[in-house]
Amino acid sequence: MIQININQSLIVQHWEYILPIFLVILGVFYFKKLKAFKSPREENVKSNKLDGEEYVGADYKDDEDIDEYTPALEESEHIPFKGASITLPGGAEAFYEIVNNRRSIRSFSNKTIPFEIIETCIKAAGTSPSGAHTEPWTFCVISDPSIKTQVREIIEAEEYLNYTQRMHRQWTADLKPLHTDHIKEYLTEAPYLILIFKQIYGFKPNGGRKQHYYNEISVSIATGILLCALQAAGLSSLVTTPLNCGPALRNLLNRPQNEKLLVLLPVGYASEDCKVPNLKRKPVEDILVTY
């Protein structure tokens, strides 16, 4: 059996040197931990307990000089509201019939559409709820043929690379039944292109940055309302998310740095020979769970 002679152990022999070194290392370790700890909020963000940067304003640093923050929205007395007073004849069933009639199309007629209809649909989209009522959306409507051509050139060049090099072969295989490719005639055929930008932050009257909480969710809801409004007006569209085209399109339209492209919709009437995939929608039993 091996016997350890305690008296001969190096640690015991030199404890008067080893103990202070050990305490110094321990002290440095805790000092570093203490410095890294700023506030429970920042700790939560770091450890990913909250939703993540984009939604919770994690990049918003605590300002030691500010005792009380002023709200971005002006504070005023709340007003009475009696609930919905304007309803669709036929109610929810009629609304379902309208939206169930919507299809994404890739072939548009060049029949002109009064701009006022598009404007009203965008007004409807602008009624969307948004994080802290920041209304973080910009809708760019293009009807100028030369700008449409430039948009198409930018997108087709990138989509060629997407389809041939960037997208996984499973992805391109999944898209085969939808008959999509990098050639996008609809970008010049459709009377209107609506480019929807999310404002990832805004500006306070003093020029400082204003947080746009949940901006992507807010703009996505607004896009949904826009799709419904267009459908109600008898117009069709296609929700497109041009991969890797955001900065070039933002530059083309001179949009500021705080805006990022979320989606692009060509809008118009379906062409005479428009065809769509024979898709089925999930029955309500598959999407609705009751408790």
Residues in the site for ligand IYR, rule: CB under 6 A?
159, 175, 178, 180, 240-243
Q: How far is the CB of 131 from ligand IYR (least distance, A)?
A: 26
Q: Which amino acid is located at 256 in the chain?
A: P
* Look-up of token digits 């030199």: 14
Tokens of 22: 């050990």
For ligand IYR, the nearest residue by Cβ is 180
Q: Are strands 209-211 and 236-237 parallel, antiparallel or unpaired?
A: unpaired
- Looking at the Cβ atoms of 120 and 220, the one nearer to ligand IYR is 220
Q: How far is the CB of 278 from ligand IYR (least distance, A)?
A: 16
Measured CA distances, 166 to 160, 172, 214, 247, 263 (Å): 9, 10, 29, 18, 19
Cβ distance 274 to 101 under 8 Å?
A: no
**Which stretches does DSSP call E strand in 45-92?**
none
- Looking at the Cβ atoms of 70 and 170, the one nearer to ligand IYR is 170
- Looking at the Cβ atoms of 162 and 215, the one nearer to ligand IYR is 162
Cβ distance 219 to 136 under 8 Å?
A: yes
Cα atoms found within 13 Å of the Cα of residue 71, Cβ hemisphere only: 7
Distance CA 61, CA 211 (A): 12
Q: How far is the CB of 50 from ligand IYR (least distance, A)?
A: 28
- Looking at the Cβ atoms of 21 and 178, the one nearer to ligand IYR is 178
- Looking at the Cβ atoms of 37 and 171, the one nearer to ligand IYR is 171
What's the residue count for the chain? 291
Distance CA 169, CA 154 (A): 23
Q: How far is the CB of 111 from ligand IYR (least distance, A)?
A: 23
Q: How far is the CB of 178 from ligand IYR (least distance, A)?
A: 6
Q: What's the CA angle centered on 265, arms 264 and 268, to 5 degrees?
A: 155
- Looking at the Cβ atoms of 161 and 175, the one nearer to ligand IYR is 175
Q: How far is the CB of 159 from ligand IYR (least distance, A)?
A: 6
